[in-house]
A and B are shown apart, each in its own frame.
Chain A
């Protein structure tokens, strides 16, 4: 059995158990800061983790982190950015002015101190600071790629002393890149065939016999 402490409560669970499941056995109600229960994609189960013999407190997603003996865990509520970085769909369309809007919506981005707080905070090991710097220098597609696997847990929001909201900046870059540039030829052709009436559905035509 592995013994650890979660939110101040002792837990004793078999090896291989994830922190989330250990929390349930410790009597902690799983009603918030929990979601996908192991896939590690919803970003809800943010936790601070200190391991035996390590002075440093690290971040983790509790659903994909196995327990270790002597581990101390605290769950973290979602940290909202200090102010919302607001924009609308109409801001996404024009690639020529995308960089201007990045600077206007995320003015803090150019003030990055290069402290790598966001990098250390990211439980997915993304190069968050690099992504921020790419966006701030106008490389929207480069920034978008850095945040490919971001789960929007907002831990980098909590870590940034300049209130850049790095993951939201990264998502803005991703949305600008997609909405501004992606124009699939096959999709456009199919949309034309449908709107022109050339392609329709005969809902009565199908029988259960395979063709």
Chain B
């Protein structure tokens, strides 16, 4: 189902507001979610998926727009990097979000010399935007086993059991690690810092398990990680340095990468003993025409490069559409309203004022139910934007003051939209939020390419076909640490002097053999809205820099 195909039929805003009485009956129970998902979830959109023809996951389906990039030609050729300045490090971390910073910190704490490169600025990532929180089974009525089962079931049983067990088992130690680095968590009302952690419930879980800092958990986490990584003496950070290709040796192992410096307008080669890919997700590809909650940089760069080098994908056809992106006004469409609102009791109602789904079902189910309401004409129309209503006034009436004290980000977004959430409901519509699958990894974050590790959203296998709230932040801590430690310890079996684009030549032969075009290039680095043109930008380049002054120039940014 494509949102552009949604019938413009719906219930006008004024009628929907009049129908809203706040005392709506409970929603119908869903015994089997599969028919709803198959008919309404965008992962199953007719004519959408394409079968991959080349690479380690040939034969698997994924959205057409992503398949085009996964099966694209490289941005660069040998001639582009001939004579390029080269720097060396022990561990190269690509990506400056939560997973990248944690992998870099862990590798550096293990004694490795680390270079972290990032497309935008350190910390400018989806992590900083995370609102809801982090799952961790600390409750007396909770257990690792319950968390394990909730995660596996929430992912439609598609997750890798060993990875899920690692994720869940790492939870308490991961939270301790964060506190030791100076991250604050909310405590239960009236309890001091030695009391119990405050817990919220996430959709698809049996017990409250979300730990948070107000509704800016990602901001609190990311500013601590950014400071810690920035201050660590063994970590060097290069901002404004998107990765354009990986480097291989003659055995196919990963031995570094090529970055493009937006500051110097030129390519730089980085040789490394091992590489951690932590480039995040793909929301800015606007798959199936959906709006996105994602950061500007989420363009699947790392996914594309790791796949080109031979890494295998898992569930590349599965994406999370967060149920509650704001639906109106158009300028803000797609921005996120945290699941915390529903977790605290806010209901979803259609244009008739009726609840239509248990608001704390897994996200895929809630999103599909919203798309069904809109697709069958029970959505609400405002200035041509369709959605359903998040009944924030009823929540405020039931728990006076809760919006201002606990849902800071929601109020901030509503204010920008010109909505007073205490008096008016907020129109919502699913927004492309998270890549459920990704590069297949083992429990140490390792891929099938020697020397290449992955952590965070770019990796797959943990969340199956649907991620639960709070498991993304948990994953990036646990697997950021696992990948960072393994990358620091990695020693190639046969150390080779070579670092070149050998794998790109093989890839091109495969593309030609499969009859695929060579005029599509990837990674895209920036979405079209950014207006970036690599060729034009390169023309601004300076050629008068020695390797030494170049390194100095990159570090001060």
Give A residues with C-beta under 8 Å from B: 14, 16-18, 21, 24, 27-32, 34-42, 44, 64, 66, 78, 80, 84, 86-89, 92-93, 144, 148-152, 168, 171, 174-179, 181-187, 190-191, 194, 199-206, 208, 210-211
Contact = CB atoms under 8 A, between A and B. Distances in A.
B372 to A, nearest CB: 22
B197 interface: yes
Nearest to B121: A44
Closest 8 CB pairs of A and B: A175-B182, A35-B124, A30-B530, A178-B184, A203-B161, A181-B193, A206-B149, A182-B193
Interface in B212-228: 214, 216, 218-219, 223-224, 226-228
A169 B148 CA distance: 39
Main secondary structure of the interface of A (DSSP, over half): loop
A131 B13 CA distance: 44
A18 B175 contact: no
A184 B196 contact: yes
B263 to A, nearest CB: 9
A24 B526 contact: no
A153 B531 CA distance: 24
Interface in B502-533: 526, 529-533
Contact of B531 (A24, A42, A211): A24
A171 B183 CA distance: 10
Contact of B179 (A27, A149, A182): A182
B362 to A, nearest CB: 11
B123 A206 contact: no
A135 B206 CA distance: 42
Contact of B182 (A24, A178, A205): A178
Nearest to B175: A187
Given A38-B332, A92-B180, 19 more contacts: A24-B529, A29-B526, A31-B120, A41-B129, A41-B216, A44-B121, A88-B231, A89-B181, A89-B228, A174-B184, A176-B182, A181-B193, A182-B185, A182-B193, A184-B138, A191-B172, A194-B144, A201-B168, A201-B169
B408 interface: yes
A29 B531 contact: yes
Contacts of A210: 153
Given A24-B530, A89-B228, A201 B145 contact: yes
B194 interface: yes
A16 B165 contact: no
A177 B530 CA distance: 39
A64 B416 contact: yes
Nearest to A152: B223
A201 B168 CA distance: 9
A204 to B, nearest CB: 7
Interface in B106-162: 120-121, 123-125, 128-129, 136-140, 143-145, 148-149, 152-153, 156-157, 161-162
Contact of A37 (B145, B173, B296, B416): B296
30 contacts: A16-B331, A18-B331, A21-B331, A24-B529, A27-B531, A29-B526, A30-B529, A30-B532, A31-B120, A34-B124, A35-B120, A35-B121, A38-B335, A39-B129, A40-B412, A41-B129, A42-B123, A87-B231, A92-B182, A175-B183, A178-B179, A178-B185, A184-B185, A184-B197, A187-B197, A199-B143, A201-B169, A205-B145, A206-B153, A206-B161
Contacts of B442: none
A41 B179 contact: no
Interface in B478-503: none
A204 B537 CA distance: 53
Contact of B144 (A44, A144, A199, A211): A199
Given A186-B139, A206-B149, A206-B153, A191 B181 contact: no
B194 A183 contact: yes
A78 B230 CA distance: 14
Contacts of B161: 203-204, 206
B336 interface: yes
Interface in B408-434: 408-409, 412-413, 416
B262 interface: yes
B295 interface: yes
Contacts of A93: 180
B297 interface: yes
Name which of A30, A150, A171 has the most chain B CB atoms within 10 A of its CB. A30
A171 B329 CA distance: 35
B240 interface: yes
B404 interface: no
Nearest to B179: A182
A42 B124 contact: yes
A35 to B, nearest CB: 4
Contacts of A149: 216, 219, 408
Nearest to B171: A190
A182 B188 CA distance: 13
B360 interface: no
Given A187-B175, A191-B173, A201-B145, A36 B124 contact: yes
A183 to B, nearest CB: 5
Given A39-B129, A87-B231, A185-B196, A30 B157 contact: no
A187 B172 contact: yes
Name which of B182, B228, B409, B526 has the most chain A CB atoms within 10 A of its CB. B182
Given A39-B409, A80-B556, A149-B408, A206 B148 contact: yes
Given A35-B296, A152-B226, A174 B182 contact: yes
